[in-house]
Structure 1
Amino acid sequence: MATNERTVASVDPDVALAYRFPEVSFAYDERCVRTSAPRRTCSRRLRAPCRDVALYALGVGACGADAVDDKELHLVHHRDSQRHIKVLPTFVSLFPNKNSNGRGIVNVPGIHFDESLLLHGQQYIEIYKPIPSCASVVNKVKVAGLHDKGKATILEIETTTSLKDSGEVLCMNRSTIFLRGAGGFSDSSRPYSYTTYPANQISRISIPNSAPSAVHEDQTQQSQALLYRLSGDYNPLHSDPMVAQIAGFTRPILHGLCTLGFAARAVIKSFCNGDPAAVRNIFGRFLLHVYPGETLVTEMWVDGQRVQYQTKAKERDRAVLSGYVLLKHIPSSL
């Protein structure tokens, strides 16, 4: 919080669940530019890179180790006859930010909490069709879960995104938020719990004891969080040293969803030959913070169409993220 006063935490589940969120419309688009090249080499307008999706790809490390990486250049550049650059599936994890004007927190009537005690616990994404490089879309938002855990409240926000013109559904995000200090609003003998889906079915993760099927290593940049935040998450925890210190960190930390983007990229590069359209679902559980500049090591295990993963901060040898990516097909090469 910006002030020294802390918000008095309180939860009224009836008010929260009765609230109907307004629809949120927004667009991300592809821009065209005029070229100054001689007419013999270019006689028409050139399509510039899709700025929003290309900036996101760079923010989660695409081409970070090799600017001409054969499996990632198509994420930031129109290669050969490629009409549009391809879009990483985790790009859609940015869409819920539009619900809160880049603050990363959705205001839900009936739920009051100290923002400095908020933790992003999990993210679940379903992809229903390949994400276009430019589109006008609409978010529909609802409370998908609300649970009293005594010392904390778990709030689950579901965002379904559709194409504005056709109404065709593109994807769904379900964000799990831990509100520390906001629990204890129900009878302790019968704690309040509301959910619209079988949570255990989504979040069940078991890291195998066997050797991983593949391991991918990425060196994040000291400026990684500053680059990633340009995609729309402006929480000062990731840029302001004073805010980070107040929150208990020695310096600004990397966005959890940025780390998720790195992990999904590792899976796509390792098992999908760099094709982002091969992904159906993504789940990530945030375990520990990452400091920009640390090395992310993602270990992956293949089980049919499901790739389970665990990402570690190499310098500290600590697991920071775990989850799975469900592919449309069983990987053809391991």
Structure 2
Amino acid sequence: MTASPWEGRGLGTRTVSWTERDAILYALAVGAPADRLDLVYEERLRVLPTFGLTLAQWAPDALGALGAFDTTTAVHGSQRLLVHRPLGPSGELDTTARVSAVRDKGAAAVFDVEVSCTHFTATWSIFAPGCGGFGGERGASAPRRPGRPAEHALTVATHARQAAFYRLLGDRHAMHIDPEAANAAGMDRPFLHGLCTLAASLLPLADALGAHPAELAELDARFAAPAFPGDRLGLTGWDDTPGHDSPGYDTPGGRAVRFEATAEDGRAVLTGGRARFRTTTPDRTETPDA
């Protein structure tokens, strides 16, 4: 096997900072309602862990700017997140990025961009047409859906202005706001950021599990197709906690679920999803640690 010259490439370290205003705007942008005071009110604020992905967005953008792939055709294929500790309402972090792997899919390559810091480790998988064929390893295939009926059938209601709000958090790619840029990317209209769709899906999933969304510990999902602002998505979930079929199965590791999201026209939007939350006893009035 031949490794890509990009594999192992360091992308540097960047100090990122945020305020409670940024964290609140993020929660609203991904669909938190105004009465979720623990997510949108500074006096009770618990920061959604996926907010950290907006702080680390610089890393995949930096790799594209170096010429590793064509930024007009590359797409966000999947996302992983491992949470080490909660983010405070405001703060500053040193984030370090590298290309942890490059997988050869033949006509395309998948670049894994890993960002690490004290609070989380996040990995973007970027699907890049025209970059494969270098003789590298293909990598694992997509995970299969559980072969049993789902325990959860939920709904994610996006809204028409959601992409416009979400891009204020840092991902300002024109295809999410400009019809001409969306057309150039092969879409008939601007579409929702995959990370926005993913974060919006975690809110009802956490509620269904009896967990608090700020207690997300692990996340993995693939972006099968874009959602459009205003889409109403069907969210299907399968309990994935060890012993989930036994009474009182709360475990020290929390609750886990496998999930997928589908648009009303049948398009698979999120596939191969898995999320784990640390707790099953939410306290919406809890004051976060400083």
TM-score in terms of structure 2 length: 0.84
Asked if 1:132 corresponds to 2:54, the answer is: no
Asked if 1:327 corresponds to 2:274, the answer is: no
Contact in 2 for aligned 1:84/1:133 (Cα 8 Å): no
Equivalence map 1:180-329=2 (5 Å): 180-184=129-133, 186=134, 191-193=135-137, 200=140, 205-273=143-211, 275-304=212-241, 305-314=255-264, 316-322=265-271, 323-329=273-279
Contact in 2 for aligned 1:282/1:325 (Cα 8 Å): yes
**Equivalent position SS for 2:120:** strand
**Equivalent position SS for 1:215:** strand
Asked if 1:92 corresponds to 2:52, the answer is: yes
What is the number of residues matched between the two proteins?
A: 267
In structure 2, distance between residues paired with 1:105 and 1:261: 23
Give 2:15's match in structure 1, choosing from 4, 20, 25: 25
Higher relative contact order (CA 8 A, sep 6+): 2
Query: 1:150 Cα shift?
Result: 1.9
Q: Identity of counterpart residues, as a percentage?
A: 28
RMSD: 2.4
Asked if 1:117 corresponds to 2:73, the answer is: yes
Query: 1:157 Cα shift?
Result: 0.4
Q: Deviations over 1:57-107 (max 9, x none)?
A: 1111111xxx32xxx3310014xxxx440111211121221336xxx4524
In structure 2, distance between residues paired with 1:321 and 1:54: 25
Q: Deviations over 1:171-216 (max 9, x none)?
A: 01011001101222x2xxxx2239xxxx75xx86332343322222
Give 1:73's match in structure 2, choosing from 37, 45, 48: 37
**Equivalent position SS for 1:117:** coil
**Equivalent position SS for 2:57:** helix
Matching residue's letter, 1:234: R
| Alignment gaps of 5+ in structure 2 | 242-254, 283-290
In structure 1, distance between residues paired with 2:104 and 2:150: 37
From the CA coordinates, give the structure whose radius of gyration is larger. 1
Contact in 1 for aligned 2:202/2:213 (Cα 8 Å): no
Q: Deviations over 1:204-263 (max 9, x none)?
A: 633234332222213211111001111110000100000111222111010011111111
- Give the aligned partner of residue 156 of structure 1: 112
In structure 2, distance between residues paired with 1:211 and 1:17: 40
**Residues 222 and 18 of structure 1, relative CA distance in 2, 3 Å threshold:** closer
- Shifted more, 206-215 versus 293-302: the winner is 206-215
**Equivalent position SS for 2:28:** helix
Query: 1:108 Cα shift?
Result: 7.0
| Alignment gaps of 5+ in structure 1 | 1-10, 30-49, 162-168
